[in-house]
A and B are shown apart, each in its own frame.
Chain A
Amino acid sequence: MIENLAAGLAMVATVQNVIAIFGGVAIGIIVGALPGMSGTMGVALALPFTFYLNPVTGILLLLGIYKGAVYGGSISAILIKTPGMASSACTILDGYPLAQRGEADKALKMALYASCVADFISNLALILFTGLIAGFALRFGPPEFFALICFSLTIIAGVSGNSIVRGLVSAAFGLFLATIGVDIIYGTERFVFGNVELMRGLGFIPILIGLFAIPEILDQFLRHMAAHQKITNIERGRVSWREFKESLITIVRGSVIGVVLGAIPGIGAAPAAFLSYSEAKRSSKRPNEFGRGALEGVAASEAGNNGAAGATMIPLLSLGVPGDAVTAVILGAFMVHGLMPGPLLFLENLDMIYALFIGILLSSISIFLVAIIAIRLFAKIADTSSALVFPVVLVLCVFGAYAANSSMFDLLVMTIMGMVGFFMLKFEIPAPPFLIAFVLGPLFENNLRRSILLGRGEIDIFFRSEITWFFYFLTVLTLVLLIRRQYQTR
């Protein structure tokens, strides 16, 4: 092992690789902070440039962009309530209220620290436990996915604020809108009404931007804000050691949640972020502060988010199965260079694997160094007049919503969702349950129906393994604890 590490270190310790990592992270942070641009898009755009680089450099560049984008999404989520990436939507819940009361810099720094720690833990899990975690992920079939999603949907109660009924209303909306498109089992249309654009369903990015950014832009007209008033005051910017220590358990727990969920192909970082947040709120000594600017809330969501990011490489490297869209692009990068991820890669190119591992660990450090500079630049947005920032945000949202699928229809969806989101804001219907339900709804329904097909209508397929029992148990436990807490707070 020592020889392999030394060989890997020799391979990665070149100026080219260091520039690739730092440069990739810097590009990723910018891409991630722009609403509508995503890590997937950034990695896909950079892919052709890697054809002319050696495999380690090329893949480290793509990984740097991905990891930078995952952190970058939190910057716009905190400053302008517009998540740059879907997985950063949860950071809005406490990041934006912190920014509104003048602690934007503090929120950005806590997001950074949580991201770096979670990313490091995720990378360690990748290096040390790839085989074990990949083996666990392989055992997931439709019934196991269904049970996992059941548990994940209980997150909704955790992010519903004071009214679970309103949270359920929001979730029901999200689940319903997620049914638009083509039925996955029979291929028939659902709520398409002859509109070809609706056959692929509603785009996630326009929904995201419409739900979070547009209502905020409209709501500014109701607030007594002078034209030259700043968005926030960024004077109070330091995260003290005590504050970091208080959030450390939350960060570690969120990282573990992120690693487990990120390693399962098809789940993604958004559910991991929300689940981490929900668990942090449930076990916090001050749960009432969540949703009102709790630093721990920011730490939890970013930990879950970044914990999942590194873990998506686990099924890719060990099995050759991409965990999400980004790793699918990275799989393409491997194949372009004549490499096939999976068990054979460990046998035939072990020094390259170790080089990637060392490079990935270096990326955690580079996120910290690059982001510290980026925070100072982005935080200047908080110093700008709100009357100028929000129109710019609106234009950015339009470009971003269009760029996601090059579709004018997506702009209409964004605008309509903006109106819906505004009414939700005014009727105190929380937006995060909608988002979670919209993301998880298709997984829930599809795995339910696949399981029924697999079991030929027999219900015992839903209880076929200890994994399903485990998640059903967690689901029931979470619901009981939530109901008990509801009665206690009354």
Chain B
Amino acid sequence: MKIKIKDCILGASLTVLGSVLFLFVIPEGVVVPSSVSSLALAPDLWPRVLALMLLGLGILLFVRSSLRLLGGTAEVTRASSLNFAGASAMARPFGWFVLFVAAIALFVYWAAIQILGIPVASAIALASFALLYGERRYGVILTLSTVVPVSLYLFFSKIAQVPIPMGVFE
């Protein structure tokens, strides 16, 4: 069985997450009324069980992968190479950089929707992502960026009767 160092990372992260949930998030986030008569009915019982489950699974993963690493029975992949799911051998040049830009772009897209509305923000996003993917037929990009958001806007607002926010263009 291959155990990669990312199992250690995952195990450690889950252990921390489970602990944080159990010790801080649940006590702060769940309102437990004083009238609760039975522990089994308490609103925070089930979340606590799940937090403990995450904690336990994290410890299991971490200990198992650590023992295998220490015992020399694991195939080690350096964390820095980030050999995720076999993609690195096929990764595009600057693939991770472009990915990072795309991830930021998603949040920028969400923020732009608040200001520009869904159709306009979508037109810009569609063109941006097509360019990021490497498409260089600018005519096609321009056509799609116009036709797709407009068609979807018309479908959802006129046929499905879902009011689509238009931002500053209301």
A interface list, Cβ under 8 A from B? 37, 41, 45, 165, 168-169, 172-173, 175-176, 179, 183, 185-186, 188-193, 214, 217-228, 385-388, 390-392, 394-396, 398-399, 402-403, 406, 408, 411-412, 415, 418-419, 422, 425-429, 445, 449, 452-453, 457, 490
Contacts and interface: CB of A to CB of B under 8 A. Distances in A.
Contact of B140 (A191, A220, A388): A388
B57 A165 contact: yes
A222 B96 contact: yes
B85 A449 contact: no
Given A193-B28, A221-B95, 10 more contacts: A175-B46, A176-B50, A192-B29, A217-B129, A221-B102, A222-B84, A222-B91, A395-B149, A396-B152, A402-B162
Nearest to B141: A388
Contacts of B23: none
Interface string B39-73: 01101101100110110011011000000000000
B133 A415 contact: no
B100 to A, nearest CB: 9
Tell me whether chain B's interface is mostly helix, strand or loop, or mixed: helix
Question: What are the nearest 5 A-B pairs in CB distance?
Answer: A227-B134, A387-B133, A387-B135, A391-B129, A188-B31
B12 interface: no
28 contacts: A37-B160, A41-B160, A45-B159, A45-B161, A169-B54, A175-B46, A176-B47, A179-B50, A183-B31, A186-B43, A188-B33, A191-B30, A222-B84, A222-B91, A223-B91, A226-B134, A227-B136, A387-B133, A388-B140, A390-B129, A390-B133, A391-B126, A391-B133, A398-B113, A398-B118, A402-B118, A415-B109, A427-B10
Contact of B43 (A185, A193, A227): A185
A190 B30 contact: yes
Contacts of B76: none
A186 B129 CA distance: 46
Contacts of A408: 113-114, 165
B36 interface: yes
Interface in B86-113: 87, 90-92, 95-96, 98-99, 102-103, 106-107, 109-110, 113
B20 interface: no
Interface string B1-17: 10000100010001000
Contacts of A226: 134
Interface string B133-154: 1111000110010001100110
Contact of A411 (B54, B58, B113): B113
Nearest to A453: B41
Interface residues of B, number: 75
Contacts of A214: 106
Contacts of A390: 129, 133
A403 B126 contact: no
A396 B160 CA distance: 14
Contacts of B36: 186
Contacts of B166: none
B130 interface: yes
Nearest to A405: B162
A46 to B, nearest CB: 11
Contacts of A449: 40-41
Contacts of A403: 156, 160, 162
Nearest to B53: A172
A346 B108 CA distance: 57
A214 B91 CA distance: 18
B156 A415 contact: no
Contact of A457 (B40, B54, B61, B148): B40
A217 B102 CA distance: 9
A241 B6 CA distance: 44
Contacts of A45: 159-161
